[in-house]
Amino acid sequence: MIQGKNQSDKSSYARGIMYVLAAAFGFSLMTFFVRLAGDLPTMQKAFFRNAVAAVITIGLLIREGKPLRIERSNWGDIAWRCIFGTSGLICNFYAIDQIGIADANMLNKLSPFFAILLSIPLLKEKPTARDIVATVIAFIGALFIIRPAGNLALAPALIGLYGGFGAGTAYVFVRRLGAKGERTPVIVLCFSVFSCLVTAPFIIADPHPMSAWQWTCLILAGVFAAMGQFGITSAYKCAPARDISVFDYTQVIFAAMWGILFLGEVPSVMSIIGYVIIIGTAVVRWALRGK
């Protein structure tokens, strides 16, 4: 019985890693196409990203043939997942246009460290001293990317930092929902629809016509966002964030590659130092887990 349980745990862990890698690849292409969409309002980009994901999710739910039913006890967790996820997404999209996709992705990847902090009150998980030290070092690394200088350039970086906080908080609620047995498509659909409802009024109030190229970019952003959303939601249902989140940092590598190859965005030396500190901290923390 114990051996069977261990094999089951290993299988779940392996699936979690595969889902995280797929999500990282998807989200990196999402940010790439959001940037390629050009000079459009952040809210308009966020709306189409989520509208496409909602359509894809509805199709999957119809194919699944199961009723869309949410347990009453899960409504609160879904609401908070939607609120923090949507606000984090909007801030991340704004940062992508202002500070580049590599830096914006790196600040967003502070989400696992925020998740550690939020897991204390929400999941009643007590962090170890190692977790606390890792979180402090990661935020030191973030300072190299944010580079606070007391001017207006600081604002987009801080907004991008909140994007990481929103994502980290949302994933804690995803973890809670997974533990309660809530289905991945239902969680993704609720988030996508909520985000569309939040961003739609801004588009109605200030619509911006889009070219065929911009339509194509935002549709592709939505497709890859759905890939990332399903991947990350499934991943955190398979295994705890502390065990698999380190693999999510491949998103930064993917994003930096797209930026260098196609956008001419070469990260600064200070940013690279920040990347090394944050990713290095995550890798060391992951390698020492359970010891």
The C-alpha atoms of residue 22 and residue 169 are separated, in whole angstroms, by: 21
pLDDT tens per residue, range 138-158? 888 888 887 765 555 678 889
pLDDT tens per residue, range 178-225? 888 898 889 989 999 999 999 999 999 998 999 999 999 999 999 998
Eight-state DSSP code of residue 180: T
Given this model, what pLDDT does residue 237 score?
Answer: 75
Least confident of 25-34, 83-92, 151-160, 165-174: 151-160
Given this model, what pLDDT does residue 200 score?
Answer: 96
The C-alpha atoms of residue 33 and residue 131 are separated, in whole angstroms, by: 34
Helix (H, G, I), strand (E, B) or coil at 90: helix
Eight-state DSSP code of residue 9: H
pLDDT tens per residue, range 2-35? 444 466 677 787 888 899 899 999 999 999 999 9
Are 208 and 41 within 8 A, CB to CB?
Answer: yes
Domains of the chain, by residue range, sit at 10-287
Reading the block at residue 174, the tokens are: 């995803």
Beta-carbon contacts of 187 under 8 Å, excluding residues fewer than 6 positions away, are 78, 81, 174, 177, 233
pTM, two decimals, is: 0.81
Reading the block at residue 252, the tokens are: 């930064």
Reading the block at residue 134, the tokens are: 């890792």
The residue assigned the tokens 């200030």 is 206
Write out the H or E segment, with its range, that includes residue 253.
helix 250-258
Give yes or no for residue 47 having a pLDDT over 80. Answer: yes
The residue assigned the tokens 């809530």 is 182
Given this model, what pLDDT does residue 83 score?
Answer: 97
Mean pLDDT (whole number) for 91-96: 92
The C-alpha atoms of residue 16 and residue 6 are separated, in whole angstroms, by: 15
Beta-carbon contacts of 38 under 8 Å, excluding residues fewer than 6 positions away, are 214, 217
Reading the block at residue 276, the tokens are: 């090394």
The C-alpha atoms of residue 232 and residue 243 are separated, in whole angstroms, by: 13
The CA–CA distances, whole Å, from 80 to 77, 177, 222 equal 5, 11, 22
Reading the block at residue 29, the tokens are: 């292409």
Are 250 and 21 within 8 A, CB to CB?
Answer: yes
- Of 196, 200, 257, give the one whose Cα is nearest residue 225: 196
Instruction: Please state the φ and ψ torsions of residue 106, each to the nearest 5 degrees.
Output: -65, -45
Give yes or no for residue 291 having a pLDDT over 70. Answer: no
